[in-house]
Structure 1
Amino acid sequence: MSKPIEIPPLTARKNYKWELLVLLWLAFFLNQADRQIFSVVLPLIRKDLGLSDAELGLIASALVWTYGLLVPIAGFIGDRFSRRNILGVSLVFWSLATLSTGFCTTLIQFVLLRGMATGGGEAFYAPSANSLLSEHHPKNRSLALSIHQTAVYFGIILSGLIAGYVGEHYGWQRAFFLFGSFGVLLGFVFFLRVKKDVPAVLNSSVQTFIPDTTPTVGQVARIIVRKPTVWMLTLAFACMVFVNVGYLTWMPSFLAEKFGQSLSEAGFSSLFYHHAGAFLGVLMGGKIADRYAAKKPQSRLIVQALGLLLGAPFIYLMSVSLSPTVTYAALFFFGIFRGWYDSNIVASLYEVVAPNIRSSAYGLMLACAFLVGATSPYILGVLKPTLGLSAGLSYLSFMYVLGATLIGLAVVRFFEKDKNR
């Protein structure tokens, strides 16, 4: 009998940090794709089940509310337990919830499975994933996190194309079945590849994990309360999330109604041009920030503020344009500058937060931002019958301007003090 092949510890493998990035990229891809499916097939669900625009907006908001409520818990857990277990379990859980959404027939079922179960599972991904990546890429943190962030764009673009096609030809239910099944499969692969290595990572030269010295929830909260830069970054993030969630929920329907596009065409066009621009923008923003941050750490925040400020006019233009071509161009440049902001969401926060509470701090930041941003789909759904989607989407540009102002205030007034504290 031949000897079983022993797989060496993952941390001992060459280029482990890049293999980790690939695994997390795939998981984040599904995290975003599963979240976007509902918006793409929303017209089919409305037609099939007779749900109102306000009810459909409520379903989308329920996911973000659940995410916002649970993500701080996920952050604190991520500073205290195996992040491999947290990431793997959350991936399998939200994928099963996505798969089960295909069986929904009532509003309450959508709220429970699509909103609470999917949102709850996804909440436990980002804090642990970003903390783990940051530890393994200390010298090129913004670049690594930017590459990880590109999974958002690919996930949303491909979910728009694939879910729209599957929904039109085979029914909206099968779109959820497809993505959910793939996620469960990836979850098993994820556990297989990292099973024996995350505990070693937590106790290796990357970072020594000492439970007795990990701050309590109250201590973390007190540390963060004394850092106005964290408040400003969190409020700006809330502005960005408000815009992003509203745009992602209603843009496919906007193009289908305004320009008479098919579901698959509207789903693809509403997501591709914006996220193609964001893909380029996030890599640009990461490289620019890494280049200047060594000598001037506030450069990360400056790149974010410029991204929001320069992106605001294109949000307005995409909403009021009467030409599909102009709308697509506006979506592209809106994406470019959104990418500048996205490239430094985590890296900017980590400039003023100590390594041993980063997961917790990011969890609290996500919670505040998503609890505010969750209202966007519902508000736009309520306003849609009276003001229309064009006016509602155009108002989102003001949130970008507000976010840029908040980050600028942090740079001028609080950053240096909070970084040294």
Structure 2
Amino acid sequence: MKLNNRWLVVFMLWTVCFLNYADRQAIFVVFPLFEREFSLNNFYLGVLSASFMGTYAITGPLAGWACDRLPRRNLVIGALVLWSAMTALSSLAHTYTQLLLGIAMAGVGEAFYFPSAMSLISDYHAVDTRSRAMAFHQSGVYAGSIIGGWLAGVLGQRIGWRIGFRGFGGAGILLGLLLYLLLREPPRGLSDPNVGPIPRGGGFWQSLCDLAANRIARLLVVVFIGANFVAMVFTVWMPTYLFTRFHLSLSVAGLSGTAYMQIASILGVILGGIAADSGVRHGSGPGATRMRVQAMGLLCAVPALCLSGWATRVAYVLAAMVGFGLCKGVYEASLWASLHDVVPIEQRGSSVGLMNSLGWLGAAGAQLLVGYASERFSMGACLSATAIIYFCIAVTLLYSARLTQREGISQTSAT
């Protein structure tokens, strides 16, 4: 596979990832409009976002298992069309229950995307470029969140939230048709030529049991649950926090609540990907090297998280978001590459599906917890308290890196 083709695949998947997160952020930014139209408080808004994350999480293990057995190209395209259609249909909702159902079904579609996309990238990119390839793909998360948040805020403020939902949904369906013509399925294990024939994975429950028995994979899942908990607290609630605490307009709150953090994350993910791949090329074990880089990103984010909820000026909050976003990007650059370093090739899809599932269960819990706690305490206190979670998972990740190096896990191999 030529270099330009390998990176072209990553770019095509980047566009899907961009729309994936643009759709999500469009939902979160217009919370104040949902609150007014459907007479909701923070708890019911939390239930709304938790419905998306909950169905996403429940579907995740099945999506990962399917990824290891079915053409990943078809799963990527099918997922894109399904969640886009559900986003567009949600614009027709006239009751809270209808809106809840539409957003929940969008979560089912999105669950099938990431396991297949990460598996495709690992087949096109070997260990010495995998972090950078996945880091570039991850930048689509941040770009989609920025553009989605901004557009949803502008459209919501001027002509209502329904137009934005229809626009994002229609764009996704059109992109799905284009990818049907362009995206190709590679042989499994293409970038790992020394591992021999790739065996077919076992049954659904056997795959889950095999992954549960992998100690380092378990630790990476625990870290991801904590990291996703924190990330989604800020992604979901920061625009609303800026709108209510500092009385910004909806469009400005939607843009500011996402852009500062996500633009910094783009820089962080690039730096993290370069640092991780550089360490791999210089002889360190891929898994341990990537985990140490990730842990440093988490530790450096702790002061910014502390500041975010206690700052009394918008400028200080946004500065904290820049620091948090930069460090979060360093962690997320090797998020899936680290997992692929410690699981067999035939379980790459299942491992991402399970990790994604449990991580988003944590994110769903975060919405319910913050929605409830903010009614009793303050949203600022909830935001600052997330620093404790980041510190704990950073220590866990350093311990995982030590175990990985001690046990000599240096590359993914088929079993």
TM-score by length of 2: 0.93
CA contact under 8 A between 2:136 and 2:270: conserved in structure 1? yes
- Name 1:347's counterpart in structure 2: 337
Secondary structure (helix, strand or coil) at the match of 1:15 reads helix
- Name 1:324's counterpart in structure 2: 314
Secondary structure (helix, strand or coil) at the match of 2:315 reads helix
Out of 372, 385, 398, the position equivalent to 2:388 is 398
CA contact under 8 A between 2:48 and 2:100: conserved in structure 1? yes
- Name 2:156's counterpart in structure 1: 167
Out of 105, 111, 116, the position equivalent to 1:128 is 116
| Structure-1 separation of matches of 2:401 and 2:190 | 33
Cα shift readout 1:23-64 (whole Å, capped 9, x = no counterpart): 100000011111111111110111112122111110101111
Tell me: CA distance 1:274–1:287, structure 2 relative to 1, closer, same or farther (3 Å): same
In structure 2, give the amino acid aligned to 1:394. Answer: S
1:304 pairs with 2:304: no
Q: What is the deviation of 1:367?
A: 1.3
Tell me: CA distance 1:391–1:221, structure 2 relative to 1, closer, same or farther (3 Å): same
1:381 pairs with 2:371: yes
| Structure-2 separation of matches of 1:220 and 1:273 | 40
In structure 2, give the amino acid aligned to 1:137. Answer: H
| Structure-2 separation of matches of 1:211 and 1:110 | 43
- Name 1:4's counterpart in structure 2: none
| Structure-2 separation of matches of 1:368 and 1:319 | 26
- Name 1:259's counterpart in structure 2: 246
| Structure-2 separation of matches of 1:225 and 1:386 | 37
1:364 pairs with 2:354: yes
- Name 1:3's counterpart in structure 2: none
Q: What is the deviation of 1:215?
A: 3.1
Tell me: CA distance 1:319–1:79, structure 2 relative to 1, closer, same or farther (3 Å): same
Q: What is the deviation of 1:251?
A: 0.5
RMSD: 1.9
Cα shift readout 1:144-196 (whole Å, capped 9, x = no counterpart): 000000000000001111110000011011111111111111111111212xx
| Structure-1 separation of matches of 2:92 and 2:106 | 14
Secondary structure (helix, strand or coil) at the match of 1:51 reads coil
Q: What is the deviation of 1:386?
A: 2.1
- Name 1:182's counterpart in structure 2: 171
1:193 pairs with 2:178: no
Out of 42, 48, 54, the position equivalent to 2:31 is 42
| Structure-1 separation of matches of 2:189 and 2:269 | 31
- Name 1:85's counterpart in structure 2: 74
- Name 1:137's counterpart in structure 2: 125
- Name 2:265's counterpart in structure 1: 278
In structure 2, give the amino acid aligned to 1:323. Answer: R
Q: What is the deviation of 1:404?
A: 0.6
| Structure-2 separation of matches of 1:33 and 1:418 | 40
Q: What is the deviation of 1:207?
A: 7.2
Secondary structure (helix, strand or coil) at the match of 2:375 reads coil
| Structure-2 separation of matches of 1:254 and 1:418 | 46
CA contact under 8 A between 2:123 and 2:188: conserved in structure 1? no
In structure 2, give the amino acid aligned to 1:358. Answer: R
Out of 13, 16, 29, the position equivalent to 1:24 is 13
| Structure-2 separation of matches of 1:124 and 1:313 | 35
1:69 pairs with 2:54: no
| Structure-2 separation of matches of 1:270 and 1:95 | 24
Secondary structure (helix, strand or coil) at the match of 2:149 reads helix
Task: Single out whichever of 409-418 and 64-73 deviates more from structure 2.
Answer: 409-418
| Structure-2 separation of matches of 1:98 and 1:179 | 7
Tell me: CA distance 1:334–1:33, structure 2 relative to 1, closer, same or farther (3 Å): same
Q: What is the deviation of 1:415?
A: 4.7
CA contact under 8 A between 2:87 and 2:103: conserved in structure 1? yes
Q: What is the deviation of 1:105?
A: 2.1
Number of aligned positions between the proteins? 405
CA contact under 8 A between 1:229 and 1:415: conserved in structure 2? no
Secondary structure (helix, strand or coil) at the match of 1:202 reads coil
Out of 130, 150, 153, the position equivalent to 2:139 is 150
Q: Which runs of 5+ in 2 are unaligned?
A: none
Cα shift readout 1:307-332 (whole Å, capped 9, x = no counterpart): 11111210121111011111111100
Q: Which runs of 5+ in 1 are unaligned?
A: 1-10
- Name 1:235's counterpart in structure 2: 222
In structure 2, give the amino acid aligned to 1:111. Answer: L
